[in-house]
Structure 1
């Protein structure tokens, strides 16, 4: 990437890249599908927070969460999936990843598509639960809200440029503050780094008709992080998520755009800590207890 963004040149990002190794973990039998994983903090913590990125994101989009929360003793994992063409394949792959990493139970923080997949994974494994709690950020419960439903079947043959254009429409940089602009630049850079199959497969999962069965998910402790300024999803999508999870805790940010975990990292990290605090002192703690 020739003209790197402000964020990827920042001290914080460089410190993240030099202190948290990127692992590639292959979980399927034919050895082709490798998850990209950043794993911080003590491996003795057996119920970490796993972060799942949006369509355009790579595992490093959560670098501010990994660094900020690891410094407070939390174990944070950011995981980016290889190419999976449907939700069932993705859920199988994610389960194998958790098995490989010897994680029986996890908390999940999912952004947009990452949040949708987190809900589906919870639902699919309801008979043998692996998810202790969820934090959903700018997410949705039903893919029919996207305008590309009808064409999702042909994404696999569309050129990268066309797929990127579809996403770029959501990256509006007028009327926003500097931190949101920096977040968008960073995400555009990540988007540019994705291959055609990576992008096509994610967009396919994002747009092929599929919905969450909330009755299999709503018993969990859930926090919903939403922004009140403009972002890619409509208000009716947000209302639908609230309706599915009437007992969820709502964490509202005045602003933050599509990527508040980058543009409003301190606020998002605070809400993640508040969410995880309820598990302190239990077997599902995501941090080692420290005397303050």
Structure 2
């Protein structure tokens, strides 16, 4: 059972909300008190990317273990809850919508989980966006909030901050594939061949003996073997290089823009002659 003593733990910024199976739903955001009993009634859970969404979860039958709040609902139930801005008091209509979603009976007795939204006296008092509960009953009434219950002597101004993160995801694959192509290669190779050439030389004292050797008149034949070179083609596979895939990281700048809300506080001075004058801060 969650009590007022547990509020500071839930609002410490370390508290996580778990579902019935112990799965994490999100981080705890704000705590809403019932203005009849002063007991915690609802807790908001920050879900979505960077915790940009908040869902209301009843604290009925919830328990606190360390910094974790275990609620009696599934993660899907919480994420499908009606979208209600966690920026002030819950209206009776908003409470009834939440009670119907979780199948609960409105403890005020003026609305049930099955009927349409009605007027309830048991609306809950909330907190500002900083996550501070209304603890004025413990300290005594100092100021008065004209829009609802009494509060302390100050108003908290909050604003949204844009938090941008990065995630690593797979965008594609690259692979090496080896295949065979055929191309023509032309090379010029010098080749030699022999041709017949007739050489005539006169009779001289040096060759006279060879010339007159044999009969004076006869028939003779001489032959010579001719040679030539032919091109011989041979092929062999030769390793020429190694190819591999590698990756490199390239950094580029990307701009991210979104809208954020912030609260502004204005002073309404009713003591001047012009009560409509507003001073903004």
TM-score (norm 2): 0.22
Larger Rg: 2
TM-score (norm 1): 0.22
